[in-house]
Amino acid sequence: MAAQLFSAILVIIVGVGGCVAYFWGANRLLDIVFPSRGVSGGTAVDNLRRQGLIRPWLFVGPALIILIVYLIYPVAQTLYLSFHDRGGETFVGASNYAWAFGDREFRNSILNNLLWLLVVPAACTFLGLIIAVLTDKIWWGTIAKSLIFLPLAISFVGASVIWKFIYEYRGEGQVQIGLLNAIVQFFGGAPQVWISLPFWNNFFLMMILIWIQTGFAMVILSAALRGIPEETIEAAVIDGANPFQIFWKIMIPQIWGTIAVVWTTITILVLKVFDIVLTMTNGQWNSQVLANLMFDWMFRGGGDFGRGATIAIIIMIAVLPIMIWNIRQANKEMGGH
């Protein structure tokens, strides 16, 4: 352990030191090759211009290389692989896609994913909004917010263990140590094996993500609510609006943009969520989703890269509209900057 820790520290020093050495060294080199001080005026101007051409690339260079290797090239390569067989060598046309849409498990994953996409972002945004509005009204709101925000720091695997404990099942009449079954049994119901209940188990898995993400929605929406000018609300109060009218007709329209951001962010997250399904059911009992199915095919039977890549591409296609919208939105905001 000590040796391992030592090597980790060493690598941090080497890695960070390497970064520092690169940035400092490259910039120093540029100053030496094209000096702008201690040379004649004309040369200095020329050299400054040359520095101005080169230096930005010294700054963005490392980032650019890493982005290309780790994100841009893989997108292209995954697209390429999705048209090839399991080893990635023989071109097979669209047969992976044909397989996907003919496969019962894949269609089941798509349906489950749609269910997740309908429920989770909506539930998180809705609950987040309600909690944001309510906590703004009370003196211990900040503490309450912190506690609801807290699950955001917990890993999906950790959260899965936490909830698996809540869903723990014992036979009828036995002492239940799972909270949910204990409550059900207390009210005279029969305990259930929640995570293998067909169809409904999806919701018990979604609950975990909702539990984690509501805090995120709450924080963002709470900030947006605080940004609403007080005059508009006061005016509505004077006009005799009731709290629900104020909420729906005054507050909601003003934070509509933020709601959209929260919604889309959680939507993207839902498409990629893999850990919860892996740890809770690993896709058994009809709870499979695309991200987990993709992971599954990456390693199933030694790995089918063609099918895995195809599923990744389908996830990507689902994200694409959001990506385009994001870029447009950002371009609009940056305007002339």
Partner 1 sequence: MAQASGKSAGKSSFGRFGVHLAVLFFVTVWTIPTLGILVSSLRDKDQIIASGWWNSFASSSQTEAGRLPAASAQVEKDGKFVIEGNLFDPPGSREISAFGMRSQAPTEFPAGTVAELKDGVTLQVNADGTFVLASPTKFEGERGQRVYYAASAPPRFTTENYETVLLSEGIGRSFINSLTVTIPATVIPIMIAAFAAYALAWMKFPGRALLIAVVIGLLVVPLQMALIPLLQLYNGVGAFFGVPSKTYLGIWLAHTGFGLPFAIYLLRSYMAGLPRELMESARIDGASDFEIFIKIVLPLSFPVLASFAIFQFLWVWNDLLVAMVFLRTDADQLVLTARLNALLGSRGGDWEILTTSAFITIIVPLIVFFSLQRYFVRGLLAGSVKGG
User: Which residues in 274-333 contact partner 1 (CB under 8 A)?
Assistant: 274-275, 278-279, 291, 294-295, 298, 305, 308-309, 311-313, 315-316, 319, 322-323, 326-327, 330-331
Residues in the chain: 337
Q: Rule CB under 8 A: which of 119-178 touch partner 1?
A: 127, 130-131, 134-142, 144, 146-166, 168, 175-178
C-alpha 17: how far from chain center = 31
Alpha-carbon gap, residue 11 to 6, rounded angstroms:
9
Number of residues interacting with partner 1: please give it, by CB under 8 A: 131
Q: Rule CB under 8 A: which of 5-24 touch partner 1?
A: 5, 7-8, 11-12, 15-16, 19-20, 23-24
Kindly state whether residue 216 participates in binding partner 1, applying the rule CB under 8 A. Answer: yes
Which of 97, 119, 236, 254: binder of partner 1 (CB under 8 A)? Answer: 236
Which of 1, 104, 198, 332: binder of partner 1 (CB under 8 A)? Answer: 1
Q: Rule CB under 8 A: which of 38-57 touch partner 1?
A: 51-53, 55-57
Q: Rule CB under 8 A: which of 97-116 touch partner 1?
A: none
Kindly state whether residue 118 participates in binding partner 1, applying the rule CB under 8 A. Answer: no
The two structure tokens encoding residue 216 = 């995120």
Which of 117, 184, 268, 285: binder of partner 1 (CB under 8 A)? Answer: 268
Phi, psi of 84 (to 5 degrees): -125, 170
